[in-house]
Homo-oligomer: A and B are copies of this chain.
Amino acid sequence: MKRKLLTCLFFAAACVLTIPVGAQTVAFADQRAGWLEKARENMPELIRTEVKPQWIVCSEKDPEAFQGWKMIRTEPIDSLYNSSFKNRKEVIVDFGDHLTGYFTFRIDHTGLPADAPLRFRLTFAEVPAELNTPFDPYPGGLSRAWLQDEVVTVMHLPETVTIERRLACRYVKIELLAQSYYDFRISDIKFEAVSSASGEGRPLEPTVDPMIARINEIGLKTLKECMQTVYEDGPKRDQRLWIGDLYLESMANTYSFENHALTRRCLYLLAALADEDGWLHATVYELPKPEPQINQHTMDYSLLYGVTLLEYLKATGDRQTAEELWPVVVRQVEFARTYLKDDVYDMEKQPQWWLVFDWKDDLNRHAPIQGLMTFAIDKSYELATMLGREDEVKEWPDVVKAMRKASRKNFYDKATGVIVSGPDRQVSYLSQVWMILSETLTAKEGERALTAVLDDPTTCYPGSPYAYHYVIEAMIQCGMNDRAKELLKSYWGGMIEKGADTFWEVYDPNDDFKSPYGFFPVNSYCHAWSCTPVYFINKYKDIFQK
C-alpha cells in the first residue's frame, strides 16, 4: 500500500495543515512521549518456534495452477542432508506452511576441508511462481529489495549461515554459485518462526462447512503471521503498521488470539507518532526507531482509528486506554469536519489526502468517503457515550444526521436504488457499502442497492480483500446472510482452491498476475487485511457456522 506516497508527498510539501493550533494541540504534543512509553510497555514478547522442512520439491509448470506453477514433492529432506550438494547444485525445500522469521542452514565438508569459499543464492518464496519468475531486470514499482533473494559467501566450513533479515516464505531455493574443489553437504535447515500470537483461535461448531473451517484456519494463520511487535500489513513486504490493517486485524484478534496488549500497543504507537497537531499518520515504522511515515496521511484510515478504539474498548473494557486516547479520536473527526461543505465531503479542498478504500484506481471515492466519515463520526460518538464524554462532542450526532441527509440528496439515485458517486455518477460496490455501514441507507434500501451491484457486471467491483471485508459487513448489516456466506466462501475459498497457505494482499479471481506494483512477485501473499474471515466466522456464528 504505497503507490500514492509520492503524490501525497507533493501535496504535503505544498500545504500546511490548517486546523487551529490551540490548547488541545499543545496537549497532544506533550502527551506523545508518554504514549510512546505506553507503546513500549505493551511490546509483546515474540513466540519463537523452530520449524524444519520435511520435503524437497520441484517446480512444475501447470497452466491450471495459481500463476502457472505448482510444487511437486520429490524426496524427503534427509536425502538432501545425506548427499553431496556440490553435485546437486540447486534445491528447493518446502517448510510445508507459511513462516515468518529467521532462516538458518549448516554446511559441512564431507571429505577434505574446503579449500575455497562457497557462494550461494537463497530465494525465499511465499508462492511457487516467486521461484520461477526472474527478478531482474526488475519491472516493479516498489523497491526491488523487498524481493527475498540473498547472496551469501561462506568463507570457511563448517559454517552455520543465518540470514540476517527477517523473511516470510514457505519455499526456499538454494543455488550454488561458487564451489570449492572438495565436497560438502547442506544440513539442519531450519526456520525460527516468530509471532506474537499464540493458541489456535476459537473452536468451531462441529457442523461447520469444511470450506468455512478451512477459510478460518487460513485466516488464523494469516493473522498470526502478521502479528509481530505490531500488527503488520504483510510480513514479507512493508512489515509495518497501517491504521486500516490494524482495524481489521484487531477485530479478527478479538475473535481468535485475544492478544489485546498488541492492539493497545498499536493504538498508543500511532497516537505517539501523530503530527504535533494530532493528525495521525496512516502508517508508522518500528525500526530502527518508532517513526511515522511523514506526510503519509489518509482521511479514511484516520477516521477508522476511533472505530478501532471503540471496538477495543468493547472487547476489553480497558477504559483507561480509551480515556487516554480519546483526544486523538476527537482530533481526527474535527480535522475531517474541516473538509465538509454543506455537509458533504469536499473533494476540491486542499490539501487532498490519500483515500485508500481499495486497490482500484478507477473507484470514485466521493460517496465512499462521505459514507465512511458518517460511519466513523457515529461510531466515535458511541465511544464518547461509553466514556461519558458526550458533552465534548455534543454536535456530532447532528453532523451525522446532516451528512446522512446530504448523502441521500447528493448520492442516492432513488429511481435505480443505488448510490452514485462523482461527476460520472459511478456505481460501485463500495459506494453502496459505506452508505449502508453509515446507516444512510436502511437495511432494505441497502439490500436493494447491493443486490443491484452484485447482479450488474458493469459496476465497479472491489479489487482487494480489504474492500471485500466491508462488502461482507454491509451484507450482514442488510440481513443478506446467505449472500455474505456465499461471497466469503467464493472469494476467500477461491484463494484456497488456488493453493493459498495464507490469504493474499491482492486477489482477483480472474487475474492471478494482478499487482498494484507492476510485478506480481512483489505482492504480499500473506496480508493482514485478508484475515478477516476469522472475524466474520467467529462473530457471526449463526451465519457462518451453521
Contact with B along A161-203 (1 / 0, CB 8 A): 0000100000000000111110000000000000000000000
Give the complex CA separation of A113 and B5 in angstroms: 12
Query: Does A142 lie at the interface of the complex (its beta carbon under 8 Å from any beta carbon of B)?
Result: yes
Query: Does A287 lie at the interface of the complex (its beta carbon under 8 Å from any beta carbon of B)?
Result: yes
A6 — which chain B residues lie within 8 A by C-beta?
181
Determine if B159 and A113 form an interchain contact, defined as CB atoms under 8 angstroms apart: no
Q: Name the residue on B nearest A293 (C-beta).
A: B115
Determine if A159 and B288 form an interchain contact, defined as CB atoms under 8 angstroms apart: yes
Interface size of A in residues (CB-CB distance below 8 Å): 39
Q: How far is the CB of A311 from chain B (nearest CB, A)?
A: 28
Determine if A153 and B150 form an interchain contact, defined as CB atoms under 8 angstroms apart: yes
Task: Please report which residues of chain A, range 121-143, place their CB below 8 angstroms from some CB of chain B when the two chains form the complex.
Answer: 138, 142-143
Query: Does A155 lie at the interface of the complex (its beta carbon under 8 Å from any beta carbon of B)?
Result: yes
Q: Name the residue on B nearest A180 (C-beta).
A: B143
Query: Does A112 lie at the interface of the complex (its beta carbon under 8 Å from any beta carbon of B)?
Result: yes
Query: Does A487 lie at the interface of the complex (its beta carbon under 8 Å from any beta carbon of B)?
Result: no
Give the complex CA separation of A142 and B156 in angstroms: 15
Determine if B143 and A178 form an interchain contact, defined as CB atoms under 8 angstroms apart: yes
Determine if A142 and B165 form an interchain contact, defined as CB atoms under 8 angstroms apart: no
Determine if B178 and A138 form an interchain contact, defined as CB atoms under 8 angstroms apart: yes
Q: Name the residue on B nearest A177 (C-beta).
A: B144
Query: Does A44 lie at the interface of the complex (its beta carbon under 8 Å from any beta carbon of B)?
Result: no
Give the complex CA separation of A5 and B181 in angstroms: 8
User: Could you say which of B9, B144, B178, B181 contacts A145, with CB atoms under 8 Å apart?
Assistant: B178
Q: Name the residue on B nearest A13 (C-beta).
A: B111
User: Could you say which of B143, B179, B181 contacts A118, with CB atoms under 8 Å apart?
Assistant: B143
Known: A113-B291, A138-B178, A285-B113. A145 touches B158 (CB 8 A): no
Query: Does A116 lie at the interface of the complex (its beta carbon under 8 Å from any beta carbon of B)?
Result: yes
A112 — which chain B residues lie within 8 A by C-beta?
9, 293-295
Closest 7 CB pairs of A and B: A116-B143, A144-B178, A117-B145, A145-B178, A119-B145, A151-B151, A156-B287
9 A/B residue pairs, CB under 8 Å, sorted by A: A5-B115, A9-B112, A113-B294, A116-B146, A117-B165, A119-B143, A138-B178, A145-B179, A157-B288
